[in-house]
Structure 1
Amino acid sequence: MSTLLGPIRQLGIVVDDIEAGMKHWSEVMGVGPWYYNPQVPIEDYTYDGESYQPHNSVALANSGDMQVELIQTRNDVPSMYRDYMQKGLRGLQHVAFWTNEFDKDLAMMLDKGFTVKMSGKVGENGRFVYFAEEHHPGTCIELSEVLGPKGRMFDLIREASQDWDGADPVRPFPDLSKI
């Protein structure tokens, strides 16, 4: 377990083709089922303090307690995913720590000298920040709030993976307002 913010809970992988990525991970790696959202509804999104409207597709699945996130950018707004791809990189772009104490953990990271590069919110109590510092080329840290519907969705995804038999490998994201 990390001594920074507890266990790493998610591996964020930037891909050129999310459908091909889900197929590879489910058929070759045996990871699934995948919960797919072709356009994640990100609110209050900022990059370097400026507001933008990103269009990202995301797919989530678990392997044990580790969540795997596939990310495909669909427009050219500034983002750390776009920066990563412009460097010619694909693959592990970030590791995420999950928190129920977002404000406290964010303050601790800022006190340690980390700086926020990208931030936003997905649903109620679903804030996230990506820190600018890359301590390994191309790989940064995300701090993700998992209270409320977002946390319940992550639980649902983990539970669906536990006895997954390979059937129905791609599923739509659940409606956060209903979980």
Structure 2
Amino acid sequence: MSRFLGPIRQLGYVVDDIEAAMAHWYDIMGVGPWYYNPKVPIEDYLYDGKAYEVHNSVALANSGPVQVELIQTRNDAPSMYRDFKLAGHLGLQHVAFWTQNYDGDLAKMEADGFRQKMSGKVGENGRFVYFDRQAHPGTVIELSEVVGPKGRLFDLIREASSGWDGSDPVRPFPDLSTF
């Protein structure tokens, strides 16, 4: 368990081809099913304090209690994912801690010297922030709010992985506005 905010709940991988990456994870690794969104509706997106329109494809699946996130950038908007790729990296880009007390945990991280680099929101109560402190690729820390629709989606993904028989390996994200 981390000394920051409890256990790491998600491993985020930046990939060049999300469809091929999902196939690898379900065919070779046996992880799934994958919930796929070809264009995540990110609101209030900021990178270094400036607003941009990003187009990211995301797929999510669980392996036990740990969620695996695959991310493919689809435009050239500034992001930590783009920075990671431009530095010549692919693979593990971040680890995420989940919170139901976003404001309090964000304040704790900032008090510990972490500075916001990238942030936004996915649906109601789905805020996220990535911090600029990293020692090497794969150690970027994300704080992710998991209440409301986003929290229910993450519960659905975890439950679907339990006893998954390999059928229907790629599924669409539900509409978070009605979820």
Gaps of at least 5 residues in structure 2 are: none
* In the alignment, structure 1 residue 5 sits paired with structure 2 residue 35: no
Q: CA offsets, 1:33-82, max 9 Å, x none?
A: 00000000000000000000000000000000000000000000000000
Q: Take 2:10 and 2:137, find their aligned partners in 1: how far apart are those partners?
A: 18
* In the alignment, structure 1 residue 31 sits paired with structure 2 residue 21: no
* In the alignment, structure 1 residue 40 sits paired with structure 2 residue 34: no
| Count of residue pairs the alignment pairs up | 179
Q: Take 1:144 and 1:8, find their aligned partners in 2: how far apart are those partners?
A: 11
On the 8 A contact 1:124/1:148 being kept in 2, the answer is yes
On the 8 A contact 2:55/2:74 being kept in 1, the answer is yes
Secondary structure at the counterpart of residue 177 of structure 1: coil
The within-5 A match list for 1:1-179 is 1-179=1-179
- Deviation of 1:140 after TM superposition, in Å, equals 0.2
Q: Take 1:98 and 1:138, find their aligned partners in 2: how far apart are those partners?
A: 17
Secondary structure at the counterpart of residue 19 of structure 1: helix
Gaps of at least 5 residues in structure 1 are: none
Give the superposed CA RMSD: 0.7
- Deviation of 1:3 after TM superposition, in Å, equals 1.3
Q: Take 2:111 and 2:163, find their aligned partners in 1: how far apart are those partners?
A: 42
Q: Take 1:113 and 1:93, find their aligned partners in 2: how far apart are those partners?
A: 20
| TM-score normalised to structure 2 length | 0.99
Q: Which ranges of 4 or more aligned residues in structure 1 deviate by more than 3 Å?
A: none
Secondary structure at the counterpart of residue 161 of structure 2: helix
* Counterparts in 2 of 1:87 and 1:138: CA distance versus 1, 3 Å: farther
Q: Take 1:16 and 1:143, find their aligned partners in 2: how far apart are those partners?
A: 24
On the 8 A contact 2:92/2:137 being kept in 1, the answer is no
On the 8 A contact 2:95/2:138 being kept in 1, the answer is no
- Deviation of 1:175 after TM superposition, in Å, equals 1.2
| TM-score normalised to structure 1 length | 0.99
Secondary structure at the counterpart of residue 178 of structure 1: coil
On the 8 A contact 2:84/2:137 being kept in 1, the answer is no
Q: CA offsets, 1:103-139, max 9 Å, x none?
A: 0000000000000000000000000000001123353
Secondary structure at the counterpart of residue 121 of structure 1: strand
